Amino acid sequence: MKKVEASSSSNPVVASGPAKVWQPGVDALEDGEELQFDPEAYNYLRGFSIGWSCLSFDVVRDQLGLVRSEFPHTFYGVAGTQAEKAPWNYIGIFKLSNISGKKREPIPPSAVDGDTDVDSDSSSDEEDEEINEDTKPILHLKKVAHAGCVNRIRSMTQKPHICATWGDTGHVQVWDLSSFLNSLAESGAPAPKEDDIIHKHLPVKVFSGHKDEGYAIDWSPLVAGRLVSGDCNKCIHLWEPTPTNWNVDPNPFVGHSASVEDLQWSPTEADIFASCSVDGTIAIWDIRTGKKPRMSVKAHKTDANVISWNRLASCMIASGCDDGSFSVRDLRSIQEDSLVAHFEYHKKAITSIEWSPHEASSLAVTSEDHQLTIWDLSLERDAEEEAEFRAKMKEQANAPEDLPPQLLFVHQGQRDLKELHWHPQIPSMIVSTAIDGRGHRALRLQPHHGRGFPAARGHRAPPAASARARFLPYAAVVGYLSGASGLGASHHVADHLLALFGADASDKFHHPRHHDSAPSPDGGILLSGCQTDETSADVSGDDDEAAGEGGSKACGAFSSAVQAVLAAHPAPVSNREVVTRAREVLREKGFEQHPCLYCSDANADAPFLCQQEEKEPAAMPAL
């Protein structure tokens, strides 16, 4: 975003004095000034609409790949409308394809080279997008009639075609949208006026037991079909799946003194869920032990609007409230001093908060102050890094002292933001919705080591942070895999990988002995293609020598080097030898990356994969 002044093209306004960081909600625009977004801050940014504005939407998981990073992208979603009249409402089932963005450098070359013609570069980029029709995304939309406005909609993790909606009529409904999603997957160009058709489609389950409307609803990531729904009358009902439908417990969970605003299942414990309420509390419930919360904590002085349970670090839960603040708590000490972080950056109510599904320390927040912010809790202020960044950018702008160093990015341009979601299969993609007549806005945000939000006159704010080491506990990894595989968290990691990858899973996971017990703390073995500050290169499938006999498909340079090592040395070869010799192969071929081995000393000298069972040298399994 840039702050620009109205001027003639022949006499452009030139900024005078040192650059200043412009803070949304703090600094006011002067007469004749307006904000424009900086295209270099995004890999992709484009808005789209499904008709009426939406209060809630969800990303629908697909089978296009578990982790996708290369453009063009395709994503599926569902959204519920807030139409002017109740009979006009519908569920929008959509596919947005041909999302063709541009990967950008964290620090633009123009800034380092001293090129100050930012406006001309930006306008050139915008003109290129307008002229090139091939870069425009393609929206396919199906509409299903819904009785009343949709307060919230959620897609089931294990069966994404099953969706639940909370309506302002007081009904919670479950829908099977498989026929519409299949039609979208098979469709080419949208048919003329197809978007205008509102299909009549009956829900598979309607629950009318709530005494009032509500917003809180969540599918269990561990038990397929298990659901909780909470209403404005302080009640929470549990839905248990049957072979053909659902049984909804008519006796609600009761423990809050005011409206239940949000619900989240535990990512690792199948019978545990959390709730937040207008009474300012967060409660933890166990469905095995009655209808009262196991524990409750006063989290906020005003209404607690939203919560998010970290699926990668399951001891962390984040919450946002009406006064614009949001907090992070450690559930291991929930009855004591559990507050890990508290931020008062936003000026109005928090409307959505969600942890990243790919970075355990990152989360995104939307607020009624029209800002979407991205945060990384692993960052701390680093004066030396700030000075180095300013020198590289050739400017003297300083980050305000009261600006949290954990703040990575600020997105503006949508009025009255209501909800955001990270895409679970496309790292760094965020989709948000706002009640401003513009429908949804899809974001493809590039990760930044420093602060990514813009300052005045096209300048970026300097970074105020440095990274700390991160780790993921075994339980968090299994919890994440469970959500992808559909198996319970009690299964061994091998079961999840076999379910997800089948024959492509490592040979080690096909041996029954690895299912007998959970791994010991020193049982893990990790071979990485490079160090953390390096890039792991690829080799072309046309390179017969690099890709193996016959010139197989393209693969990583490290994988190619490992294959060369195994082909040249009879089994068994230790893990240490594989990595050491692979480094030599890469160095001889001109690669600058340095493969690493992470394991105990005993495992470093153990045979690579299952070679101790091979009587002859084995072919290299897919990595």
Q: What pLDDT, in 10s, does the model give residues 551-582?
A: 455 578 999 899 888 888 887 889 999 999 99
Highest mean pLDDT (candidates 77-91, 463-477, 555-569)? 77-91
Q: Which helix (H) or strand (E) holds 239?
A: strand 235-241
What pLDDT is attached to residue 619? 40
Is the confidence at residue 423, as pLDDT, over 50? yes
**Residue 314 scores a pLDDT above 60:** yes
Structure confidence at residue 66 as a pLDDT band (50, 70, 90): confident
* pLDDT at residue number 278: 98
Number of helices followed by number of strands (H, E) in the chain: 10, 36
Distance of alpha carbon 339 from alpha carbon 337, whole angstroms? 6
In contact, 210 and 232? CB cutoff 8 Å: no
Tell whether the model's pLDDT for residue 599 goes beyond 90: no
Query: Backbone phi, then psi, for 316, in 5-degree steps?
Result: -110, 135
Confidence of residue 188 (pLDDT cuts 50, 70, 90): confident
Overall domain count for the chain: 1
> Is 191 a member of any domain?
no
The answer to the question of residue 533 being in a domain is: yes
Q: For the chain, state the CA radius of gyration.
A: 26
Query: Is residue 68, in this structure, part of any structural domain at all?
Result: no
Whether 72 is covered by a domain: the verdict is no
- 422 pLDDT above the threshold of 50: yes
CB 611 within 8 A of CB 496: no
For residue 401, pLDDT over 70 is answered with: yes
d(C-alpha 178, C-alpha 3), whole Å: 46
pLDDT confidence tier of residue 454, bands split at 50, 70 and 90:
very low
Distance CA 161, CA 295 (A): 34
In a domain, residue 282? The reply is no
Q: Measured between alpha carbons, how far is residue 67 from residues 76, 186, 600 in Å?
A: 15, 22, 29
Look at residues 308, 220, 221, 197 and name the one whose alpha carbon lies nearest to residue 261. Answer: 308
Q: Indicate whether 576 belongs to any domain.
A: yes
pLDDT above 50: residue 189 = yes
Task: Concatenate the DSSP letters of all residues of 276-338 into one string.
Answer: EETTSEEEEEETTS-SS-SEEEE--SS-EEEEEE-SSSTTEEEEEETTS-EEEEEGGGTTSS-
Whether pLDDT at 453 is above 70: no
Mean of the pLDDT values across residues 252-275? 97
pLDDT bracket for residue 90 (50, 70, 90): very high
Q: How many CB atoms lie within 10 A of CB 356?
A: 23
Name the residue range of residue 578's domain.
520-623
Position 600 in a domain? yes
Least confident segment among 332-341, 363-372, 374-383: 332-341
Q: Nearest CA to 125 among 101, 145, 95?
A: 101
Asked whether residue 351 is assigned to any structural domain, the reply reads no
Given a cut of 50, whether residue 432 has pLDDT beyond it is: yes
Q: What does the pLDDT look like over 194-236, one tens digit per residue?
A: 888 999 999 999 999 999 999 999 999 999 999 999 999 999 9
Residue with tokens 């037991």: 209
Full-model pTM: 0.71
